[in-house]
Amino acid sequence: MADPTTTTTTSAPPAAPAPADTVTVTIDGKAHQFPKGTVLLEACNAVGADVPFFCYHPGLSSPAVCRQCLVDVKGQPKPVPSCYTPVADKMEVQTKSPRALDVRRQMLEFTLVNHPIDCPICDKAGECMLQKHYFDWDAKYARNDGIKVKKDKVVDVGPHIVLDQERCILCTRCIRVCDEVAKKHQLEMADRGDHEVLTTAPGHKLDNPYSLNTVDVCPVGALTSKDFRFSMRAWELTATQSICPGCATGCNIEIHHSRGKIHRLVPRVNPAVNKHWMCDEGRFTYKPVHAGRLAAPFVRGTPVEWDRALDEAGKLLRAALDAGPAKVGVVFNAQSTNEDLYALGRLAFDHLGLTKTYLAGVDQGWSDDILVSADKNPNRAGATAVGAGRLRTLLDLAKDLKAGALTTLLVVGTDGVLAKDAAPGALPLDRLETLVVIGTHRDAVAAAAKVALPLAAWAEADGTFTNKLGMVQRIRAAVPPAGDALAGWEILSHLARKLGATMDFTEARAVFNEAKQKLGFMKNAEWGRHMLPVQLRFASTRG
């Protein structure tokens, strides 16, 4: 099963709670210790009691509206909502007493009374909490064949989300996400009784930058993402853990993919980085992986085999270096992994002794104090550390090009090299005799290159990013590289060999291990264990 806490961090693990802060709770006949303040529901599920719930979410406040988590506590006349009750010393809890099971079934029956028979067309099917809890705990057929209440079914509540009011089980998780995480009140419950519906707050749309988290937390298929709906069934998806490359926060994510194509990104729990959430912009960072990719090595505009392209690149760079290394420049990129950056640093600084090195990256953007960083590059910290002060800016590159100080340029990662709104001629790459590009996309920079080598994108590579807090986090390859693309450190190893330097990495982990020894900021980083991608059909719920 996917382990949500396998990230690499440089912070020390929290100290174990002192015995004075724990209470003893008996759950289903066995006594356990828990820290004071633990929610009873978390306590029960931690010991495998498997109490179902809908409205509770560990990252949100707990209103106890769904009543699904009711358990029997000795001494209490009525069943107790375990999501609202903190553990108390000497509490005795029965999660499977006849009354607790009965109450659980009754709540499910109520929830299902007006639920539309939408499973075949509902996106959540396969990862739906209602399906799971019904099958686990109820499994009795319907007693009521009355007409179900009709509500609106395809409500456009925002730029990214569609609402189906009939499916909504009124748990209010989405309202709390907007209120507590995005700090904007955009969703509300309206009307009462069995006509109660979820709707947008008057005058508002669901357009906050964290709106797609409501789709994650929705236990059923009431809120669905416009981008994802009807595109792929949940059980066909495989989850690979990675890090969002959208900005320097480095939210922990899962890439959900099927047969080599990514379908969506969802957040992973990491209390130190992103808790349970991620922003909407980050969710769309998977789209460039499958669009406009440089899929084969190109030499002067013609696709060729790797050997031929590497030979040509080696020849051109060798000639340029022989003529004078002072005129050879290298562009690092803040979107690259630590491993790619380390390999490039080794080649450029240690082996070739180059001095004209620059750092490119996507331009700054908006930020907030919730999750979004202004720096839209996932690894500026890593690039800066590898550069150790030797990397200059793109403005310096433009100046050097205009002054004719460079004849040859090797660009590793083309994101942000040509700014989107730059004036023509702002970066005169045509002043170069030789431009060798290692890039992911068929953009203007790759088109201008004499030799363009295809680079694996972030979702296709194993490596690490360093976020703005200095945490080194592991990304994992989810899909195979597009076309003939290879990882950056691998391309650089081949290129190094052509240039007479010894650098022969055969796997990303080897690069990581060497970088860990040489680079201070990676001293405490962990590569993480080998994890097989998890097929979602084994997970059976998400939300």
Partner 1 sequence: MADTLAPLHPRRVVLGFQDTEDMIAPDLPTEPIPLNMGPSHPAMHGTVRMVLEVEGERISSADIQIGYLHRCFEKESEAATWTQVFPYTDRLNYISPMLNNVGYAMAVEKLLGVTDKIPERAQFIRVIVGEVSRISDHLTCLGASAMELGAFTVFLYALKAREWLFELLEEVCGARLTSTYLRIGGVSYDLPDGFDGKLRSILDRTRVVMQDIGKLLDRNRIFRDRMDGIGIITQADALAYGITGPVGRSTGLAYDVRKDHPYLVYDRFDFDVPVGSVGDNFDRYAVRVEEINQSMRILDQALTQIPAGPVMINDPRIALPAKTETYNSIEAMIAHFKIIMDGIRVPPGETYSYTEAGNGELGFFIVSDGTGRPWKCRVRPPCFPATAVLGKVLPGLFIADVVPTFGMINMIGGECDR
Binding positions for partner 1, rule: CB under 8 A: 112, 115-117, 119-120, 125-126, 130-132, 134-135, 138-142, 145, 235, 537-538, 540
Shortest gap between Cβ of 476 and partner 1 (angstroms)? 22
Nearest to 167 by CA among 129, 99, 118: 118
Nearest residue (CB) to partner 1, 139 versus 154: 139
Shortest gap between Cβ of 194 and partner 1 (angstroms)? 15
Shortest gap between Cβ of 126 and partner 1 (angstroms)? 6
Q: CA angle, 69 as apex, 93 and 540 as ends, to 5°?
A: 115
CA–CA distance, 47 with 24 (Å, rounded to integer)? 13
Token pair recorded at residue 186: 């955009």
* DSSP-assigned beta bridge partners for residue 486: 455
Token pair recorded at residue 528: 């993480």
Shortest gap between Cβ of 256 and partner 1 (angstroms)? 17
Q: How far is CA 127 from the centre of its chain?
A: 18
CA–CA distance, 388 with 1 (Å, rounded to integer)? 40
- What would the 3-class secondary structure string for 455-503 be? ECCHHHCCEEEECCCCCEEEECCCCCCCCCCECHHHHHHHHHHHCCCCC
Nearest residue (CB) to partner 1, 113 versus 370: 113
Nearest residue (CB) to partner 1, 2 versus 448: 2
Shortest gap between Cβ of 149 and partner 1 (angstroms)? 13
Shortest gap between Cβ of 144 and partner 1 (angstroms)? 9
Q: Do 104 and 52 form a contact (C-beta atoms < 8 A)?
A: yes
Shortest gap between Cβ of 437 and partner 1 (angstroms)? 41
Nearest to 387 by CA among 426, 432, 330: 330
Shortest gap between Cβ of 127 and partner 1 (angstroms)? 10
Shortest gap between Cβ of 56 and partner 1 (angstroms)? 21
Nearest residue (CB) to partner 1, 124 versus 476: 124
Provide φ and ψ at 46, rounded to 5°. -65, -30
Nearest residue (CB) to partner 1, 48 versus 428: 48
Helices 488-498 and 306-323, axial angle in degrees (round to 10): 60
Nearest residue (CB) to partner 1, 96 versus 497: 96
Nearest residue (CB) to partner 1, 218 versus 452: 218
Nearest residue (CB) to partner 1, 10 versus 540: 540
Q: How far is CA 376 from the centre of its chain?
A: 14
Residue 36, amino acid:
K
Nearest to 236 by CA among 541, 543, 538, 542: 538
Shortest gap between Cβ of 136 and partner 1 (angstroms)? 9
Shortest gap between Cβ of 524 and partner 1 (angstroms)? 35
Q: For the chain, report the end-to-end CA distance as a whole number of angstroms.
A: 16
Shortest gap between Cβ of 82 and partner 1 (angstroms)? 24
Q: Do 391 and 478 form a contact (C-beta atoms < 8 A)?
A: no
Nearest residue (CB) to partner 1, 130 versus 525: 130
* DSSP-assigned beta bridge partners for residue 473: 465
Nearest residue (CB) to partner 1, 366 versus 538: 538
Token pair recorded at residue 392: 């200059």
Alpha helices in 348-478 (DSSP H): 380-387, 394-402, 444-447
Q: Do 206 and 178 form a contact (C-beta atoms < 8 A)?
A: yes
Shortest gap between Cβ of 221 and partner 1 (angstroms)? 12
Shortest gap between Cβ of 528 and partner 1 (angstroms)? 24
Contacts of 485 (CB under 8 A, 6+ apart): 293, 294, 295, 440, 454, 455, 456, 457, 460
Nearest residue (CB) to partner 1, 138 versus 164: 138
Nearest residue (CB) to partner 1, 131 versus 473: 131
Nearest residue (CB) to partner 1, 134 versus 505: 134
CA–CA distance, 23 with 38 (Å, rounded to integer)? 9
CA–CA distance, 224 with 125 (Å, rounded to integer)? 12
Cβ count near 532 (within 10 Å)? 8
Q: CA angle, 15 as apex, 14 and 17 as ends, to 5°?
A: 120
Nearest residue (CB) to partner 1, 235 versus 349: 235
CA–CA distance, 513 with 11 (Å, rounded to integer)? 19
